Amino acid sequence: MKIVLFGPPGAGKGTQAEKISNMYNILHISTGELLRKNIEEKTQIGLVALEYIERGKLAPDEVVLEVVNSAIKGKDSFLLDGFPRTVPQAEALDKITDIDIVLNIKLNEALIVDRILNRLVCPACGKNYNKRLYTQPDCTCGARLTSRKDDTEEVVRERLKVYASQTLPLIGYYQKRNKLVDIDGTGSVDEVFARISEALNDFAQNR
């Protein structure tokens, strides 16, 4: 199955992607994670991406497409998290593969900002936590938790603006193609995951 996990920054895509990936044994591809890995390894792609990520802007389509192309090459089942984020990215994706379903996690702006400003991430395994719900300094894998550099209020506001102008048009794009399923992103991680599982089971039964 080829799934796109769609939604604004902070809607819980990373957390839900990890759960879907474990439950359905499906490869999780997060473009944000792949770009951060390139930054850490100081690759050419990382050098370009850093400039954009730090300012809350989208990395150039060509750069992201290069990363995605090599990640999905030869795979017939995967979950894309954070990609596509622009119409040209979606068009490029349609040329190389056929997406089955787009799960659109919906959350209002106040909750998004609150979740992002309280987010902790594990630099080793990528797991996300909410500071209010998890008060330990270390991840369950043992690594020390940190905050993402782009999780500041100023950068978050910019990321939301970019989402509204460049990413939201994808809703119409996938609605037209009958791929979009809305998921209520409020409530606990397990509540949201239950909605996602229901949508995926419905899809599997009716395909």
CA–CA separation, 179 and 35 (whole Å): 26
Nearest in space to 20 (alpha carbons), one of 205, 143, 201, 177: 201
CA–CA separation, 10 and 3 (whole Å): 19
Choosing from 2, 36, 85, 195, the catalytic residue is: 85
**CA angle in degrees (0–180, nearest 5) for 138-142-144:** 40
Compute the least distance from the CB of residue 115 to ligand AMP, in Å: 12
Q: Is 119 a catalytic site residue?
A: yes
Choosing from 2, 159, 179, 195, the catalytic residue is: 159
Q: Under rule CB under 6 A, which residues in 36-65 are in contact with ligand AMP?
A: 52-53, 57-59, 64
Q: Which residue is it, tokens 């991430």?
A: 121
Q: Taking CB under 6 A as the rule, does residue 31 contact ligand AMP? A: yes
The most distant pair of C-alpha atoms in the chain lies apart, rounded to whole Å, by: 45
CA–CA separation, 97 and 111 (whole Å): 34
Site string for ligand AMP, 59-98 (x = CB under 6 A): x----x-----------------xxxx---x---------
Choosing from 115, 119, 179, 195, the catalytic residue is: 119
Specify whether the CB–CB gap between 143 and 124 falls below 8 A.
yes
Q: Under rule CB under 6 A, which residues in 137-176 are in contact with ligand AMP?
A: 150, 159
Q: Is 13 a catalytic site residue?
A: yes
* Residues annotated as part of the active site: 13, 85, 119, 148, 159
What residues make contact with ligand AMP under the rule CB under 6 A? 9, 31-32, 35, 52-53, 57-59, 64, 82-85, 89, 150, 159
